[in-house]
Amino acid sequence: MSKEVLIKNNKDLLTRDTNEQILVVAPVEKPDNPKLGILYFCLSGFIFCINFMCGKVLYEHHPSLGATQLLVYRSSVSIIILLFYLNKQIKHIMYDSVDMASVPPLATRVITGNFAIFVNFMAVKYFKLTMVAMVINCAPLVTLFLAGPILGEKITTGQVVSLLFAFGGIAFMILGGEGEGETRAAYTPGIMAYIALLLNPLCISAGNLAMRAMRKLNDNVVSAYMALSLFVVFLPICLLSGDNLGLWFNFSALDWICLLGISAGTIVSQTLRFMALQNHTVSGLQPYTFL
């Protein structure tokens, strides 16, 4: 019986018998396109910053809103958006196109991503944005030094020097402007909040390395799994802790706009970040974090 090979969306290699349905789905890697990767990376960072500001607005409008509640709200809306956007392609993206070799990095991305996102939303509630930005900006340095031994990427002296200079400049601006025109929520963070915040750069780095390792997967696989896993993980936590999930019925029009912005923005930001790492090396992208 003869066989033919089909290419679908330049991403998946589909092998089938000529008279039968598709038998095998094997992801195929695309060649790197550094310029496109840099563009996607910068756009992802810009949208990520907007998400932070929207989250800050929701916390200021609703002081009783917790990080786990916001993550349940955000993941719920994200899942609805993805259901409409992906439609009939969901099974192909989340199951058929995921080969066994991509499962470990995908699991790493989901686990570290859940932790990093929780810490991000928790941090803007308990810490000043300047402090959160300062800690998160350590992630590119951690990522750069891990990319060599884990992914085998060649780290140049120029990359290290440029990152150190960029980090130093950002740190100077953040610390120099601390306390100017910025209010802090009336909550005192405990020791666990500080530990979680300090672990965040390592989780962000692990997620970036994992996405580069599974770059042959569909563009939307990361955002789809992240939205689903956040809902599955944090909904039981909210229910067991007795959090008021009905708080969003008190949202104003602006609150709903912010929630929709966070939900859609997270999908777009995660997808663009994954597309960036599909097109460029992890070490090559890190200097652009500080743009």
Q: How confident is the model at residue 120 (pLDDT cuts 50, 70, 90)?
A: confident
SS3 178: coil
Residue scoring higher pLDDT (130 or 181)? 130
CA distance 94 to 250: 34
Amino acid at 229: S
More confident residue, 113 or 4: 113
**Is pLDDT above 80 for 107?**
yes
Map residue 33 onto helix, strand or coil. coil
Q: H or E element: which one contains 148?
A: helix 139-151
Of 33-37, 107-111, 117-121, 188-192, the poorest mean pLDDT is in 188-192
Distance CA 73, CA 150 (A): 35
Confidence of residue 58 (pLDDT cuts 50, 70, 90): very high
> How high is the pLDDT of residue 174?
59
Alpha helices, H only, 62-128 = 67-86, 90-91, 103-126
pLDDT at 59 over 50: yes
What is the C-alpha to C-alpha distance for residues 181 and 252, in angstroms, rounded to an integer? 25
Q: Are 77 and 231 in contact (CB under 8 A)?
A: no
Q: Is the pLDDT of residue 173 over 70?
A: no
- N-to-C CA span, the chain: 56
C-alpha closest to that of 120 among 256, 288, 239, 269: 269
Q: Are 228 and 79 in contact (CB under 8 A)?
A: yes
Nearest to 41 by CA among 281, 211, 289: 289
